Amino acid sequence: MPAKLIDGTAIGRAMRTELLPRIAELKHRGITPGLAVILVGEDPASQVYVRMKGKACEEAGICSETLRLAADTAENAVIGEIDRLNADPRIHGILVQTPLPKHLNSARVLHRVDPRKDVDGFHPENVGKVVLGDPTGFRPATPFGVQHLLLKTGVETKGAHVVIVGRSNIVGRPMAALLIQDGPGGNATVTICHSRTRDLPAVTRLADILIVAIGKPKFVTGEMVRPGAVVIDVGVNRVADPAREKGYRLVGDVDFEAARHLASAITPVPGGVGPMTITMLLYNTVQAATQWAD
């Protein structure tokens, strides 16, 4: 029997609707949550993502500002814009869209964002808070979104063995930090796999919940999925497809067709984790505005 599809588009839309009363309450207090996005360069995927964030903000009643800088913008100039936004009381959340051009030091740029406005959760202060379970810290939007996909779908994490394929600071590591904490969407036993993991298929087949974020199209094959497992595919990869008008199609890090006949539930690509990332960014922006006001 094919796996149940976990519809991130529908869940994200419902969660954004649930957020509206909190935004209305803030506006009643004279506070309009504000999100600024800095986009350096013209990466096509980043431009699409930034446009979708702007649309989601508009629909939710969040003030959105997008600062577009040329790909060859000097690092000091980028940092100067971050400093300006740090000092702007209308802006409660700042997001620097990645990847950045190679001449920029990503750590230096991302860490310049005021941790109170770091709605992407990349500043060391927020990383530490997430690891410690401090609710005032900003949880990175993609892992936060995955956690809510599991919660909203009724997937029990308590006592479950979660295997995460990928150890990036953006997904893998913060995902593990969220899942091991005590509370809803937590209390899991977590294994993180990476390029040095021995006999990876043997490890992934142990998973009750398999989360894949490695950036390689169809990397996880059917033989790597335990029958009945829940599969969360974080990857979004462009692969050539002459039959499509754009000349490409989007696929995940999981071989969807092979996995869907083994898994009990699975996220599609697109339409799975992606919409949740944007949703949780809005949640973080509202959290930032609330904390700033308090």
**DSSP classification of residue 242:** T
Whole-Å CA distances, 260 to 33, 157, 164, 276: 40, 20, 18, 21
Amino acid, res. 99: P
User: DSSP readout, 183-227?
Assistant: STT---EEEEE-TT-TTHHHHHTT-SEEEE-SS-TT-B-GGGS-T
Catalytic status, residue 97: yes
Catalytic residue selected from 7, 97, 117, 287: 97
Q: What is the distance between the alpha carbons of residues 10 and 273, in angstroms, rounded to a whole number?
A: 11
Question: What CA dihedral angle connects 179, 235, 266 and 181, to 10 degrees?
Answer: 0
Q: List residues bridging with 163 in a β-sheet.
A: 191, 210
Q: Which two tokens stand for residue 140?
A: 């990175």
Handedness of CA 38, 43, 49, 55 (dihedral sign): positive
Give the pairing type, strands 209-212 and 230-233.
parallel
- Show Cβ contacts of residue 281 under 8 Å, excluding neighbours closer than 6 positions: 35, 53, 56, 93, 95, 119, 120, 141
Catalytic residue selected from 7, 118, 120, 233: 120
Catalytic residue selected from 53, 117, 129, 152: 53
- Show Cβ contacts of residue 136 under 8 Å, excluding neighbours closer than 6 positions: 129, 291
Active site residues: 53, 97, 120
